[in-house]
Amino acid sequence: NAGVTQTPKFQVLKTGQSMTLQCAQDMNHNSMYWYRQDPGMGLRLIYYSASEGTTDKGEVPNGYNVSRLNKREFSLRLESAAPSQTSVYFCASSDQLSGNTIYFGEGSWLTVV
């Protein structure tokens, strides 16, 4: 019963390096999301994908790109990492068939030095 799976769980990057966070869900959900969590700020939406083939910016999209590879997978890419992108990243998914509930992965801890 995997649900939403994110990799890697932990990553340290140097400023300017690039990396991709992977996310996959096995619940056949249409919508997928990427959030970042910072102390005292709750979770903020970076990008979302309402359905396969579509992506849209959320509240804090600068410095990120996303790809909805297929219905299951939604990746988040940092092209040139900055210390301000040190955060915990959460992938999530939802669907009307899930009662419109949004399910979260366990998070990816990213540190940019």
Contact positions vs another protein (CB under 8 A): 31, 33, 35, 40-45, 48-51, 56, 58, 90, 92, 94, 99-107
Q: Which is nearer to another protein, 81 or 92 (CB)?
A: 92
Q: Which is nearer to another protein, 26 or 79 (CB)?
A: 26
Q: Which is nearer to another protein, 17 or 98 (CB)?
A: 98
Distance from CA of residue 65 to its chain's centroid? 10
For 14, 42, 44, 75, 99, the CA distances from 69, given in Å and listed in that order, are 27, 28, 22, 8, 24
**What DSSP string describes 15-39?**
TT--EEEEEEESS--SEEEEEEE-T
- Fill in the DSSP letter of residue 79: S
Question: Cα separation of 37 and 87, whole Å?
Answer: 6
Shortest distance, position 45 Cβ to another protein, whole Å: 6
Shortest distance, position 37 Cβ to another protein, whole Å: 9
Q: Which is nearer to another protein, 17 or 30 (CB)?
A: 30
CB-based contact 49:106 (threshold 8 Å): no
Shortest distance, position 95 Cβ to another protein, whole Å: 9
Shortest distance, position 83 Cβ to another protein, whole Å: 22
